[in-house]
Structure 1
Amino acid sequence: MPPASPSRALVLGSTSVYRRELLSRLHLPFSVEPPHVDETPRAGETPAELARRLAAAKAAAVAAKHPDAVVIGSDQVADLEGEPLGKPGNHANAVAQLRRMSGKTVVFQTALTVMCQATGFTQHDLAPVRVRFRELADHEIEAYLRAEQPYDCAGSAKSEGLGIALLEAIDSDDPTALVGLPLIRTCRMLRAAGLQVF
């Protein structure tokens, strides 16, 4: 394990307001740097593989600019029966996603990479979250989307908000993974990288 370095900077490689809010819960000073990574899936790539590759690519892109910092990269891909579902981007796509997920279990593959170029530290992990959706009527889908407009969320629902009413069950060993950053794993990996969480 690298020696503890309280002065080493922490950088979140992300444009997600959700990840920024989650990381701020740890009361650690950090900055945010957009990673500028192409998120196009590769042919034959599973949702878990895609999430892992993008988390690592985001961390590496930001670490190249901040070699002395500890960098966090994360990505989430909704996995519906092996098919990756991205962010809907608009109302029509969100309606289509929620109709497809109605009554089904979706695995939200949330990948995490923490690295520091200066120390050679790199760790990767995956926090899958199994989410079972209720059978959703069209009027419920429409009312939910009009209320919360989750068009920037993989899977078209915010479990931390009204979207919880669309669900029957959530199965996870790292609850914040569903929102976008698995904080239990993040704390473990930051400690391994030499940062003091407390």
Structure 2
Amino acid sequence: MTLILASTSPRRRELLALLGIPFEVRSPSFEERLVSRLAAVEQVQDFAQSKARSVARQEPEAIVLGSDTVIELDHSVLGKPADLAEAGAMLRRLAGRDHRVLTAVALVCLARGIDLVALSAAVVRMKPFDDRAHGRYLSTGESLGKAGAYSIQG
């Protein structure tokens, strides 16, 4: 049976490869759009499942793994910034504050009727930073494509 990672994220590929399990990669046909009426937990689970299901429809015999991460701050959801200006605003909101990092992982195999989702949550405190550090980090480009405009491993 084939395992497919429904992701374009190099980091997700890297993490799955560390397990030593053979897998293929497919780009999910799903556009992430935050829905204001959904709580952060519901939003991240929906994103992970939608990504996995979009690939599973094309590969019904495969086991498809989808994942997503969002940031929850003051009961609002921070996804991936659209540009550097939005990334900068997100980082300023997070500076010196606690927030939750929520990651959902979905496993879907249509042929076997499998449709599961798991959630992991962590509270993170971002250190306060000055304008210089803020500008340096934004200039790396690392904040684009990352929930909350940062990667904890970077």
- Normalised by the length of structure 1, the TM-score is 0.73
Whole-Å separation in 2 of the counterparts to 1:43 and 1:160: 28
Is 1:14 equivalent to 2:7 in the alignment? yes
Whole-Å separation in 2 of the counterparts to 1:42 and 1:68: 31
1:157 paired residue number: 150
Contact 1:91/1:149 (8 A) holds in 2: no
1:55 to 48, 52, 68: 48
Whole-Å separation in 1 of the counterparts to 2:138 and 2:62: 39
Which structure has the larger Rg?
A: 1
| Displacement of 1:43 | 3.5
1:142 to 113, 135, 139: 135
Instruction: Give the share of equivalent positions with the same residue, in percent.
Output: 36
Contact 2:142/2:151 (8 A) holds in 1: no
- Aligned residue identity for 2:80: K
Question: Structure 1 stretches (4+) deviating beyond 3 angstroms?
Answer: none
Is 1:34 equivalent to 2:32 in the alignment? no
2:121 to 104, 107, 128: 128
Whole-Å separation in 2 of the counterparts to 1:154 and 1:147: 16
CA-to-partner distance for each residue in 1:71-125, whole Å, 9 max, x for gaps? 1011111111111112123222221111111111121111111121122222211
- CA-based RMSD: 1.4
Is 1:74 equivalent to 2:67 in the alignment? yes
Whole-Å separation in 2 of the counterparts to 1:41 and 1:97: 15
| Displacement of 1:44 | 1.2
| Displacement of 1:41 | 2.1
| Displacement of 1:59 | 1.1
Secondary structure of the corresponding residue to residue 118 of structure 1: helix
Contact 2:84/2:144 (8 A) holds in 1: yes
Secondary structure of the corresponding residue to residue 149 of structure 2: coil
- Normalised by the length of structure 2, the TM-score is 0.93
1:114 paired residue number: 107
Contact 1:55/1:75 (8 A) holds in 2: yes
- Aligned residue identity for 1:62: V
2:91 to 77, 98, 104: 98
Secondary structure of the corresponding residue to residue 57 of structure 2: helix
Contact 2:34/2:79 (8 A) holds in 1: no
Of residues 57-66 and 83-92 in structure 1, the stretch that sits farther from structure 2 once superposed is 83-92
Aligned length: 154
* Structure 1 stretches lacking a partner, 5+ long: 1-7, 162-198
- Aligned residue identity for 1:139: R
Of residues 89-98 and 63-72 in structure 1, the stretch that sits farther from structure 2 once superposed is 89-98
Secondary structure of the corresponding residue to residue 65 of structure 1: coil
